[in-house]
Structure 1
């Protein structure tokens, strides 16, 4: 038990350092510099040096003051990291949101017009139905799996994950980690832009972080969706075999897909 607790504590400490403390300390340092400079002397390095010197003199008045300052900085860094975790979850929810519906209709009409202009064809269920490209890419996994196999990806995926070999899980887990990291980058951008209320250089920095997070989210989200869809394509027969569903055609067809959905949904 002592070994397990020690290993768990080490992992938690590593996660706290990497995900919360270090980025949080950078944000706190930026916030302190922004407060000391203000809007009027936002890029005045000499003024910042003078303010930091006076701040350092006040901190060295005694060991108690220094300890409280360090503890306060660590607490502020941890709190900012936790706030970013919450903002990152909100970013991921916004990416797959269905509203505002007017924006969704605009995206849908634009995609339909582009398809007609290029002379393409396809079912309307493949047209945009979320407010972002990332959300539509995730939604298309379920739509494409349903169109091909009659399966519900939401029902199938937890069971299929248990059947995946050890060689496939790390790839999907790594793709999900990159996607989650992209939402945290966007969240840091939002939090940094809030500093622009009293220090304007934080606005472009936050905007750049937001754009980087958006780009990384599109790339990592597409990779994650491709891997999930590929896992369904490659391991569908193992799923049917594990559930005791016969495959007369050697693969899942919509008939067997509906049967599997009914089983996984407990005939609901």
Structure 2
């Protein structure tokens, strides 16, 4: 009797433990629960703590209440100025209405990411289709990302989620556009280099012309000054020469003849001059001037 009682008591404890375990559940601060009965939603529990449900009839589905992220692949979009860009985005969202989320999407996160893979690119193309490239690459990007987030949020609310942020992570040109732009940039740099070289050559030619003109002026002034000095010297030499000639014409004539003899016969005395004996060139060989005779007599 005692053994049956113990067995029955043990079974009762086990059944009570199973009933208690099936009835009570804990909601953590990072999650929210949806209680369903035979697959039909009954209530949403957002407050953390210990809660109860009908055992074996009701089940719980947990949804993360933290920020979730979605990173989409690069999308090629056409901007308002008909430029093409490859744009990468990432989206931050949270489940705001577990009931609506369960009814429209289900209980997995893969399904909502599949929905966002079409919603985000559509909003991205609509917004960027009205913006030029300069706005996308400038401080206007914040305004553009806000507009994209608002459009995505309006479409995502019907799935029970709230879009916290949509960010443009990276913008690239398509490969064919990149090569074309690089080619244009190279052509432009070459044009600028040619202009710089042409301007440099023009400045160099102008500097050389100025230097040559200044050189010519300096040489002309120096030549003029030299001519003036030379003329003054020659004038002074002529004056001295004339003054000496006036003092003693016969000696001066004799001295000039000696200079002529030196130039005619040369330094070595081997020069040959053919003249008649009575030529006036040799008159000082025939007779000496009176002053020379007087000097010899003294």
TM-score, length-scaled by structure 1 = 0.21
Bigger helix share: 1
Bigger strand share: 2
Q: Which has the larger radius of gyration?
A: 2
TM-score, length-scaled by structure 2 = 0.19
Structure of higher RCO (CA pairs closer than 8 Å, 6+ residues apart): 1
